[in-house]
Amino acid sequence: MKKIISLAAVLAALTLNACGNKSNETQNAEVPDFEKNYEYAQQGMAEAQYNLGIMYQYGEGAEMDLEQAFYWFKQAADQGMVEAQYNLGYLYITGQGTEQDYEQAMFWFMKAADQGDADALYNIGYMYYEGLGVKQDYEIAKYWFGMAAEQGSEEAKQLVEIQK
């Protein structure tokens, strides 16, 4: 028997999966050295560029500067770093450090999704569900939520369960 759910129940469970950007979870709790990361970032090292983005975004080891965070995430994202691609999508969708641009948010979430990033897959579903920069389409949203659930997104798994 198919469950009938209210739109309110889905909306209560559905939020942009971006309470914060991805941070380097493999890093220990100490703040990375700004000078070393800056030096390596200038040499084109994506991880150092990403680290600078995190440092500028959160004001850890550097003064908070969302435009600088955007700049450094973009440098790393252009080199294919999935976490930076996701974070760039997040900055575009929220308008932090740059003008809000749903088309660019979708572009960068798609880049991260192509690499299997569950949060990016979820946010693509969210954009279709809400009609952010795309035609609102619940079936397409459901597809992306399903993909995110397969990649381990707990939020997406909950939505998939609600929709059963």
pLDDT single digits (tens) 115-157: 999 999 999 999 999 999 999 999 999 999 999 999 999 988 8
CA distance 47 to 45: 6
22 residue type, one letter? K
Q: Taking a C-beta distance cutoff of 8 angstroms, is the pair 56, 65 a contact?
A: yes
Model pLDDT for residues 8-65, shown as the tens digit of each residue: 344 445 555 543 466 554 344 455 799 999 999 999 999 999 999 999 999 999 999 9
Give per-residue pLDDT as tens, 35-50: 999 999 999 999 999 9
Rounded Cα–Cα distance for residues 11 and 82 (Å): 28
Domain boundaries, the chain: 32-99, 116-164
Q: Which CATH superfamily is domain 32-99 in?
A: Tetratricopeptide repeat domain (1.25.40.10)
